[in-house]
Amino acid sequence: MGHMRLTCGCRLTVISPDRMQACLPMAEHFSWLDPRIVVGPSPIHGLGLRAREPIAAGETVIRWRGEELPVSELARLKLRPRYDCATLSETTIMVFSSEDPVIRGNHSCDPNLWMEDSVTESARRDISAGEELTVDYGLHSDDPTWRMECACSSPQCRGIITGSDWKRHDLQQRYAGHFSPHLTVRFASAVRDEAL
């Protein structure tokens, strides 16, 4: 993985992705995107994230950054005409700035990205230059009241995407080890409950 350049006041600092976490306050709560990612037109919905250059399977390409709020704030957010957030844990959500390019990441039922932890997305397979980067929202969404019509057009398209899709056994098998950690904990609890 390459290095990221952040302008820190009047000097230019070159840092590795591992050291990036320490500099995030300077990035004004914007997510980190691999420099090979650009925002561009999407056949799925409006704008999307696209690969400028090839990306190899397993490479980290996105690290989310936003305002962390208690889950109880979700009801207030739903009153807004638009909000972009993700669940980090049973008690915490992350709300993204409306200017953060990460909000252009579209859903696909056959995505080329998946989760490495609660804030990191990596390439699920090799990605070609020009290809749209997508993630299955079922990998991190768990709001049972949320749903959207899917326009991914993949042969695996579910038609309607919900905040309960993480419970689907087919998705649990397909994405094993690549759900947001709070959902992995919920899988384990459900398996324990079924065993009782």
Is 42 part of a structural domain of the chain? yes
**What per-residue confidence (pLDDT) applies to 193?**
60
Is 157 part of a structural domain of the chain? yes
C-alpha separations of 16 from 3, 25, 72, 173 in Å: 5, 16, 35, 33
Is 59 part of a structural domain of the chain? yes
Helix (H) or strand (E) holding 141: none
Is 177 part of a structural domain of the chain? yes
Q: Number of folded domains in the chain?
A: 1
**What per-residue confidence (pLDDT) applies to 191?**
61
Distance separating alpha carbons of residues 146 and 139, to the nearest angstrom: 14
Q: Which domain holds residue 115?
A: 29-195
pTM: 0.80
**What per-residue confidence (pLDDT) applies to 192?**
59
Distance separating alpha carbons of residues 169 and 172, to the nearest angstrom: 5
Is 72 part of a structural domain of the chain? yes
Average pLDDT across each block of 10 residues of the chain; the chain has 196 residues. List them in order: 33 39 52 96 96 98 93 80 80 89 96 97 98 97 91 97 94 96 84 58
Is 16 part of a structural domain of the chain? no
Is 116 part of a structural domain of the chain? yes
Is 161 part of a structural domain of the chain? yes
**What per-residue confidence (pLDDT) applies to 175?**
97
**What per-residue confidence (pLDDT) applies to 194?**
62
CATH number at residue 170: 2.170.270.10
